[in-house]
Structure 1
Amino acid sequence: MQEKKEEMASTKTPKKTNLLDHNSIKHLLDESVTEIVTSKGFPEDNRMSNIRLLIGVVIIVIALFAQFYNKKFPENRNFLLGCIGLYVVFNGLLQLIIYMKEKNAILFTYAPSGSFNSTGLIVTSKLPRFSDMYTLIIASADPQSISAKAPVEFTKSVTQWFTKDGVLVEGLFWKDVEGLINEYAKETKKSK
C-alpha cells in the first residue's frame, strides 16, 4: 500500500501543449520557468501585480459610478466628463506601468532568505511570432544595487524541449533553466 502511494506521488501528469499555437507554447514554458525559479529558493514578489490589480479596481469603480449615477444625462454631464477623464488617466497609468516596469517580465522575485544578495530577480522571456527561438533572461530586480550582477540569457529552439506530441520534456528544460540560474548566481571573481 505504501509503495502505491509513493508511486502515485512520483508520477506527475505531463505538461502538454498544442505545438501549432505559439501563445500556448510560451505560456507553458513561462509557467515552468516560474516553477523552477521559485523552487530554487527565490520567493515570488507580487507587489507589481497587486498594484496593477488595485489600479484595475479603481478603474472599474469609476466606470460603475459613471454608469449608475442617480441623475440622467443632461444633468450629470460634468460628472460623466470627470469620470471619463479619471478613467483615461488611470488606464494611462496602468499602461505606463506595464510598458515601463514590466515589459516582457514573467516573474519578479525577492532575494532568497539567508542570501547576502539584497536584490531579487526579474525573469523575462521572448518567443517571437513565427519563430521557434525562446529567449530567457535573468537580471537583477534593482540594477543600480551594489549587489546587482550582470544579466544572463540563453536563446534556444523550443523543439528540443517538446516531443512530437507536444509534451514538455521537463528534465531537459529544467536543466537548461537551472544552468542559467546557476550562471547568474555564480560569484564574479575579482582580479587582484
Structure 2
Amino acid sequence: MQEKKAETTTNKNPKKANLLDHHSIKHILDESVSEIVTSRGYVEDVRLSNVRLLLGTVIIVIALFAQFYKKKFPENRDFLIACILIIYTKEKNAILFTYPPAGSFTSTGLVVSSKLPRFSVMYTLTIESADPKSISANQQVQFTKSVTQWFTNDGILVEGLFWKDVEALLDEYAREPKKNK
C-alpha cells in the first residue's frame, strides 16, 4: 500500500473514483486506457461516434415529430430496432476506435473494449484489430485483473501501475503473430 501512495503523490491531479460506484471506477479506467493508447501514436477514429450522434439527432427529431403526430409507437419500432442493432453489433463494449499509427506497416487500427460487470471487481480489457479480416490484423489480446490493485483505499488511481499493465497488453498485441489465412 505504501508503494501505491508514493506513486500517486507525484501526480498533481490524481484521478479519484468513488469505490462504491462501479460506473465511476470503469469511467476512470476507460479514460486512462484512451490516454495510454493515444499516447502510443494511435489517433482516435471518431466516425462511429459521429454516426451515433447523427442517429441520436434523427431519433430526437423523430421523437419530437412522434409526440405531435397522430400515429403511435409501434409503427416506428423498425427504425428504433435498426439503431439498437447498429450500436449492439458494431460498438459492443468498445471505448476507443483508432486509425493505424502513422508510419506503421499495419493497415488497421484498434478496437479497445472493456468490461466491469456489476458487483464485480474484475476489469477485462481487450485489444483487437478494427478490421479482423485484414491480412495485417493481429490476434485479439486481453487481460482480466482486479481493480483493487490499481486504486488506493481513498479511491485514487495509481496510474503508474495501470499504465504498465495496459502498455504490456499493447506490446503483446503488437508482437502477436499474424493470423494464418
TM-score by length of 2: 0.86
Question: 1:6 maps to what in 2?
Answer: none
Partner of 2:58: 58
Once the 2 structures are TM-superposed, how far is the Cα of residue 100 of structure 1 from its aligned partner?
A: 0.8
Q: Distance in 2 between matches of 1:27 and 1:91?
A: 27
Q: Distance in 1 between matches of 2:66 and 2:104?
A: 49
Unmatched runs of 5 consecutive residues or more in structure 2: 1-9
Q: Which protein, 1 or 2, shows the higher relative CO under an 8 Å CA cutoff with sep ≥ 6?
A: 2
Q: How does 1:3-82 map to 2 (within 5 A)?
A: 11-68=11-68, 77=70, 80=71
Q: Which residue of the other structure, out of 153, 164, 173, is the alignment partner of 1:175?
A: 164
CA RMSD of aligned residues (A): 2.0
**Is 1:136 aligned to residue 125 of structure 2?**
yes
Output the CA distance in 1 between the equivalents of 2:60 and 2:78: 13
**Please, which runs of 5 or more residues in structure 1 have no aligned partner?**
1-9, 70-76
Identity of aligned residues (%): 71
Larger Rg: 1
What per-residue deviation string (whole Å, max 9, x for no partner) do you get for residues 38-95 of structure 1?
Answer: 11111111111111111111111122233356xxxxxxx4xx35x8634x23321221
Q: 1:119 aligns with which of 108, 126, 139?
A: 108
Give the Cα–Cα distance (whole angstroms) in 2 for the partners of residues 147 and 189 of structure 1. 7
Partners of 1:57 and 1:85 in 2: CA distance: 19
Shift of 1:11: 4.9
Which digits, 9 at most, give the CA deviation of each residue in 1:149-189, with x for residues without a partner?
Answer: 00111111111100000000000001110111011112638
Which moves more between the two structures, 110-119 or 123-132? 123-132
Aligned CA distance change for structure 1 residues 90 and 55 (closer, same or farther; 3 Å): farther
Instruction: Tell me what 1:94 maps to.
Output: 83
